[in-house]
Amino acid sequence: MLTTSLTNSSYPIAFNIVLLAVRLFLGTMIFAHGYRKFFGGGKIDGTASWFESIGMKPGRLNAMMAASTEVGVGVLLTLGLLTPLASAGLIALMVVAIVTVHRKNGFFIFNKGEGIEYTLGVAVMSLVPGTLGAGKFSLDNAWNPLHWSHTASLCVTLIVGLGGALAQLIVFYRPSRNG
């Protein structure tokens, strides 16, 4: 079922500005994470070693996939292009981070080892553009005359996001039995 999304000019400009702000924050934030994996700190090799240590094996492949997904999702969200799929990618990244690193540390990010608070917040916030659309100030609005219903967008965002995370964990997550 197709319906008009929040890109419709009958919606107040405030909705479109808020969608833009959410997309710009999420997009640039996750892009920076991917860029850092490629070019900062320990680069891909350092990230690969860390991934191996948390049970994501092979580490190099997972480091490349994570960095590429972060950069790609960041660009798509920032531009407002393929927004439900970009939001799904960010949800998948955050769910994998929660399962592999943060869940054992509780809720609060200030807990030792960092809890799930931040990653869960980012995943939930990704539902906003994934469900409501990219808004008037987006490539989705400029190039796509048909818009999915909010329900369809939510379903795509959740199914692809959670399904992608589950698939990655099933295929690659091999935590040590000691930790």
For the chain, the structural domain boundaries read: 13-172
CA 18-133-34 angle, to 5 degrees, is 80
Q: Is 124 exposed, middle or buried (0-12, 13-18, 19+ CB in 10 A)?
A: exposed
What pLDDT is recorded for position 177? 81
The Cα 24–Cα 14 span in angstroms is 15
CA distance 5 to 148: 7
Q: Specify which residues 56 forms β-bridges with.
A: 173
User: Cα–Cα distance between 49 and 37 in angstroms, integer?
Assistant: 12
For residue 162, the tally of other CB atoms under 10 A from its CB is 15
Listed as ranges, residues in the chain with pLDDT below 70 are 1-10, 144-146, 178-179
pLDDT at res. 148: 80
Per-residue pLDDT of 103-131, as tens digits, reads 999 999 999 989 999 999 999 999 999 99
pLDDT the model gives residue 45: 97
* Total-model pTM: 0.91
The helix/strand/coil state of 139 is helix
3-state secondary structure of 23: helix
